[in-house]
Structure 1
Amino acid sequence: MATADHAVTHVLTGYRPKTTAECVDLERVLGVVEAGGAPWERSTPLHITASALIVHPDSGRVLLRWHQRHQSWLLVGGHGDPGEYDPLAIALREGQEETGLPDLAPWPDADVRHLVIVPVPASSREPAHEHADVRYVLATNVPEAVRPENPDAPLRWLTPDEARMAITEANVLDTLSRVESLLAG
């Protein structure tokens, strides 16, 4: 098994799905990894991505990012760069790039909080495909340091109730619910 496959297999075999749908998604992702191929390559119809819901534990707020392509408020995250195979490292890098927050760290621990396969519609640059998104919670102590990476990707600090009203994707609402229980205590 290649190093890339070993890293994600290690992360995912320790994860305990919370729903039947998530069990199916986990089995599907592990099947792709075990079959070989390139589970991190954007050219494969189903490939692994990593994302996070960023929180400010002291205020109980969460950070959402506007995604122009999807026309919705989502988590921060994305694809691994070439040679990047650790989902948590990818979520941390993407989180810092997309928010400018200098102190992001796993919170309250480095556990995977959600695994979901998300359909991605075709665009002028790529065909329709799926992301096997490995999701974490990252925290900051300096929410005022937030800076969007570009004007088309604004960021918003929201209470969980406000976030629930802004989010239109069911899978992101599911992630929010899992994180909300952590923020509560």
Structure 2
Amino acid sequence: MATADHAAINVLTGYRPKTTAECVDIERVRALIEAGAPWDRSNSLHITASALIVHPDSGRVLLRWHPRHETWLLVGGHADPGENDPLAVALREGREETALPDLAPWPDAEVRHLVIVPVPANSREPAHEHADVRFVLATSAPEAVRPENPDAPLLWLTPDEARMATTEANILDTLSRVEPLLVR
């Protein structure tokens, strides 16, 4: 295993899967990391990192419209060249996609969900899979949110509203894992 990939395996060390499917996904990700180049987009399975952004004071969550998938998703995406820490990738992507200046892991920096998500082919790339490592990031300035571009609007929603807005089972699963953290 390449030294640079230790950051990816380290974030998964203490993670406990919640379902049988997630146990299988984690084993696939561990094998991917051990094979080398787990972030390489040319691999049919590669790691991505995302986050559910929350505003703890209001209990709201932020979703981003994803034009390619035509649904509300989390913020996140691929590592840039030289990046190998899933949390750092989620933080960078979160800042880029929302303009929120104060994003920080909340209530801690633990992985909240790991899921392998199928990505359909398009004119630029074949069908592939994302091994998405998910975190929770918080802001104390929800009013500062600005979409990265007009085609990717952002919505602050209650967890119930978020469940009604998205059709993606894996996003609903992430919401169900995070909602108990928001109960005040």
Please give the TM-score of this superposition, normalised by the length of structure 1.
Answer: 0.98
Q: Report how far residue 3 of structure 1 moved.
A: 2.2
Q: In structure 2, what is the equivalent of residue 112 of structure 1?
A: 111
Shift of 1:58: 0.2
- Residue deviations 1:79-119 (CA, integer Å, cap 9, x gap): 00000000000000000000000000000000000000000
Residue matched to 1:16: 16
The 3-state SS of whatever aligns with 2:122 is coil
Q: Percent identity?
A: 84
Q: How does 1:33-72 map to 2 (within 5 A)?
A: 33-36=33-36, 38-72=37-71
CA distance in 1, matches of 2:119, 2:29: 16
Counterpart of 1:32 in structure 2 is 32
Report the Cα offset of residue 4 of structure 1.
2.5
2:143 counterpart of 1:171: no
Distance in structure 2 (CA, Å) of the matches to 1:11 and 1:130: 20
Pairwise CA distance, 1:13? 2.0
- Paired residue for 2:141? 142
> Counterpart of 1:50 in structure 2: which amino acid?
A
**Which residue matches 2:151?**
152
CA distance in 2, matches of 1:149, 1:156: 13
Between the two proteins, the alignment pairs up a number of residues equal to: 184
CA distance, structure 2, for counterparts of residue 65 and residue 41 of structure 1: 24
Aligned to 2:86: 87
- Partners of 2:133 and 2:162 in 1: CA distance: 20
- Once the two structures are TM-superposed, the CA of residue 10 in structure 1 deviates from its matched residue by 1.2
- Give the CA deviation at 1:33: 1.1
Q: Per-residue deviation at 1:32?
A: 1.3
Q: What is the identity, as a one-letter code, of the residue corresponding to 1:3?
A: T
Instruction: Give the Cα–Cα distance (whole angstroms) in 1 for the partners of residues 42 and 89 of structure 2.
Output: 18
TM-superposition CA deviations, 1:126-154 (whole Å, max 9, x none): 00000000000000000000000000000
Q: Superposition RMSD on alpha carbons, in Å?
A: 0.7
